[in-house]
Amino acid sequence: MEEQPKNEQQQDNQNRINQEPEDPKQVSRRKFLRNFGLVAAGAAAGAAALFSGDLFEKSKTKSGKKKVLLTQDNKLVEVDSLELKAVEKSPEESMQLRGREGIQGKRWIWVIDLSKCRNARQCIAACQAAHHLRHDQFHINTLEMQENKHTPAYHMPKPCQHCDNPPCVAVCPVDATFKRPDGPVLIDNERCIGCRFCIAACPYSARMLNWIKPKFDDEDKGLPYNIELNIPQRIGTITKCLMSSDRLREGKLPYCVSACPNGVYYFGDENEDSVTNGTTKETVRLSKLLNENGAYQLLAELGTKPRVYYLPPKNRLFPFEPSKEAEPKKI
Amino acid sequence: MDENKATLDKITEDLTFHIRITRGFKIWMGFLILGLGVCLYAYTLQLRFGLGVAGIRDYVSWGLYIANFVFFVATSLIGMLISGVLGLIGIKWITPIARIAEIIAVAFAALAGLVIVMDMGRPDRLAYVFLYGRFQSPILWDVTVVTTYFVLSALLLFVTMISDIAWVHKNVDHLPGWVRKSYKMLSLNWTDTPEKNAIIRRSARILLLLIIPCALAIHTVTSWLFAMTSRAGWDSTLFGPYFVTGAFVSGTSAVLIAMYFFQKNYKLHNYITDGHFDKMGKLLVLLMLVYFYFNINEFFVPGYKLKTAEAITLYDLFSGRFAFLFWAVQIGGLVLPIILLLFRKMRAPLPSLIIALAVFIGAWFKRYIIVVPTQEHPYLPIQYVPYNFKIYTPTLTEVAITLASIFMVLIIITVLSKFFPVIPIRETALERGLLKGEDNSEL
């Protein structure tokens, strides 16, 4: 029974096929060809006009004078002087590019003298102000340390260790956090997907997420993203210590280093074997400083190769005082 | 011959009996969808206000979502164990439960892929994983193998079901027209010819062979998300096999629970027999013993040495903040079930359902215990941060979002098991010698 309608339809189709030669569309084939010819002729004429116009334009841009230039991959090339144009990039693009490339020829290094730290927390304040952070977001934090009750208690400033073998960079699935040739480990919050694998991988607890709307979200809206400063901060992305890469570019010491009132920080270039104290501005030999004070690295046994050295809390300038700061508010 | 025909009709009727929309089904689905709706509202809150609506913070930054993700990946491994391993070595009694295991595998694997998105700070940038993916990151490995496993499991479920779908199309006539048409489409015009059956048999065999290494890979790689870090408590070479054996335990208990409900609700007593519960109970004991052995290695070895960093987490588990959960999971979810299931009476349907529920829930909390305590004790002290950074407590929103994934799993399992025969019809008929037929030994 079901098959019946199908047969009828087939019959119908058959009829339609038989009628086809009288289809008006078929008759107009000649008309179509005529139209096609007109269009083709028009197109050919247009192309010829464009081609000659192009030739003329080209002749205008040839001055005959050549300039010899060195390309990025060290090749000498000749370019007509009229073809020279300044490369224009949006501020965002150029900041991204130089932020990922770093500062050539430098190997930034950091020395923290634990015998001088009295937990003034000025470094933290300067850092949080510069990077638009909330009170509970620490690119750098000072921790109260004590191995056991017989060993001394001391305050330990702890920034990102900017490891040369950074576990956070290894595990990042999207190349959002990266190691720069001049030393710092940076984060690109335009790229970060917020998976927090880097937080899990970092043994120094140096990374944090913008769990909620960042403090200056409204004020910073529309600013071009500066990867070396990580401003504007973005919700759902990682933020971390950047060794104040924006200051390094200007030839200045990092925010925290300059803000320290007690001469805790030395910062400089490993290639030049010199570091400068952020408080006294005194420049000393890096190798001598490390050697004479028995410098060490934090959790060096994990193989992370930190770029931050610590000088042990020997002959401390200040007696240890536990912090009296109230616990910050819950967020 | 007529007798054969009558038995075959009886089997067809029995095994397609549940393919009808009943009141119970409507109420159950209504409940699931309502629950899912409420929980998805919680997720819209997270989309609007950020991950901060959850209790996770900078130190414990992986919480409920990741524990739940690990659990989902774990449970999905059961398809590989039952259909793959037991099927390929030719164990016959699994025929009526193989499809249940495959449905569970598909549902949990699908959701594993989804719940990981719920854990992202920027779910809008999901595409970046493919656009800028770095193959050095274990997350890329995980994404790759979980997707592959889901596709393989779905294909296996479908390929082995083609003949049954055609069967349903031919024999069940009380369904609305569009449903029947869908069956016809899905059956890919299957007819009972030796060539077509050979193609199906060969495809299924290839899929089964592929699914075994892939299943091992998904859970090994998932364990590496933790083991590849240097955190005390995760930094363990044992994590791969430890996770895989644990996965079989939670998957097997999931199948036991599902078997009970299908046997009772779909009236399949003649197919999922008490003997099946007995055998699955024994299988569960075996798997739990292996898992128990791995647990001893995982906790006794570092517990004997008590190295500084590991000791802090271990004390927290053995006698500290997580002690109750730890011992409840280890004793209530592992040791006691092993002992109980050794007795035949405890492997009857109802007792084994209760034991399987305990094992299943225990398996969920076990993932929580693996994920959370380690992060509360990083190498350096947690100072100058709010109290809720130091101690992780899941928020209500977070719990609701986690529940959403469980509702979704239940919806997938309910729909698949409602509209398709949960017990392979053709295979059952072949096994009982009712269809003369092809040589089935190859599978």
pLDDT tier for residue A1 given thresholds of 50, 70 and 90: very low
Name the domain count of chain B.
1
Contact B387 A144 (CB under 8 A): no
Task: Kindly list the domain boundaries of chain A, sorted by start residue.
Answer: 93-311
Query: Is residue B324 one of the residues assigned to a domain?
Result: yes
CB A263 within 8 A of CB A113: yes
Contacts of B380 in chain A (CB under 8 A): 143, 158, 203-205, 298
Residue A167 has a CB neighbour count (10 Å cut-off) of 21
Tally of CA atoms within 13 A in the half-sphere of B116 that contains its CB: 24
Chain A residues whose CB is inside 8 A of the B139 CB are 171, 173, 195, 197
Give the model's pLDDT for residue A8. 52
B174 to chain A, minimum CA–CA distance in Å?
17
- Examine residue B402 and state whether it is found in any structural domain, yes or no: yes
List all residues of chain B from 14 to 53 with a beta carbon under 8 Å from chain A: 49-52
Rounded to whole angstroms, how far apart are CA atoms A205 and B182?
54
Residue B442: what pLDDT?
44
Q: Region A18-22: what's the mean pLDDT? A: 48
The structure tokens 């003649």 sit at B270
Q: Alpha carbon of B66 to those of A242, B69, B71, B115: distances in Å?
A: 28, 5, 8, 8
Taking the alpha carbons of B1, B4, B8, B14 in that order, is the dihedral positive or negative? positive
- Euclidean distance between CA atoms A46 and A48, whole angstroms: 5
Q: How far is A237 from chain B (nearest CA, A)?
A: 6
Phi, psi of A275 (to 5 degrees): -130, 150
The residue of chain B with its CA nearest to that of A177 is B134
| Interchain contact, B229 vs A213, CB within 8 Å | no
**In the predicted model, what is the mean pLDDT of residues A275-298?**
97
Predicted structure pTM score: 0.87
Nearest CA in chain B to A303: B230
pLDDT of residue A9: 52
- SS3 of residue A142 by DSSP: strand
Report yes or no: B102 and B416 within 8 Å, Cβ to Cβ: no
Inform me whether the pLDDT recorded for A20 exceeds 50: no
DSSP three-state, residue A177: strand
What is the pLDDT confidence band of residue A74, given thresholds at 50, 70 and 90?
confident
Contact predicate A107/A183, CB 8 Å: yes
pLDDT one-digit tens code per residue, A190-235 = 999 999 999 999 999 999 999 999 999 999 998 999 999 999 999 9
Q: Which of residues 217-276 of B touch A (CB under 8 A)?
A: 225-226, 228-231
Say if CB B111 and CB B405 are below 8 A apart.
Answer: yes
**Residue A16 scores a pLDDT above 70:** no
Q: Which domain holds residue B357?
A: 2-431
- Residue-level pLDDT at A111: 98
Structure tokens at B320: 């500290």
In three-state secondary structure terms, A285 is strand
User: What's the pLDDT band for A25 if we cut at 50, 70, 90?
Assistant: low
Burial class of B149 by CB neighbour count within 10 A (0 to 12, 13 to 18, 19+): buried
Q: Do B230 and A237 touch (CB under 8 A)?
A: no
Nearest residue in A to B54, CA atom = A211
Whether A80 has a pLDDT exceeding 90, the answer reads no
Q: Which residue among A143, A196, A235 places its CB closest to the CB of B50?
A: A235
Q: With CB atoms and an 8 Å threshold, state whether B58 touches A208.
A: yes
Please give chain B's pLDDT, 443 residues, in tens. Answer: 678 888 988 999 999 989 988 999 999 999 999 999 999 999 999 999 999 999 999 999 999 999 999 999 999 999 899 999 999 999 999 999 999 999 999 999 999 999 999 999 999 999 999 999 999 999 999 999 999 999 999 999 999 999 999 999 988 888 888 888 999 999 998 988 999 999 999 999 999 999 999 999 999 999 999 999 999 999 999 999 999 999 999 999 999 999 999 999 999 999 999 999 999 999 999 999 999 999 999 999 999 999 999 999 999 999 999 999 999 999 999 999 999 999 999 999 999 999 999 999 999 999 999 999 999 999 999 999 999 999 999 999 999 999 999 999 999 999 999 999 999 999 999 988 888 655 544 44
Choose which CATH entry (3.40.50.2000, 3.90.76.10, 3.30.70.20, 3.40.50.300) describes domain A93-311: 3.30.70.20
Q: What CATH number does the domain containing B406 carry?
A: 1.20.1630.10
Chain A, 154 to 183: residues with Cβ < 8 Å from chain B are 158, 167, 170-175
- pLDDT band (50, 70, 90) for residue A87: confident
- % of chain A beyond a pLDDT of 70: 87
Q: Considering only the beta carbons, identify the residue of B56, B122, B389 that sits closest to A192.
A: B122
Please check the confidence at residue A172 and state whether its pLDDT lies above 80. yes
Evaluate whether residue B313 is within a structural domain. Answer: yes
**What is d(CA B354, CA B331) in angstroms, rounded to the nearest whole number?**
15
Three-class secondary structure of residue A303 per DSSP: coil
pLDDT of residue A59: 64
- pLDDT at residue number A10: 52
pLDDT tens across B258-303, in order?
999 999 999 999 999 999 999 999 999 999 999 999 999 999 999 9
State the Cα–Cα distance between residues A263 and A275, nearest whole angstrom: 12
Nearest-CA residue of chain B relative to A325? B384
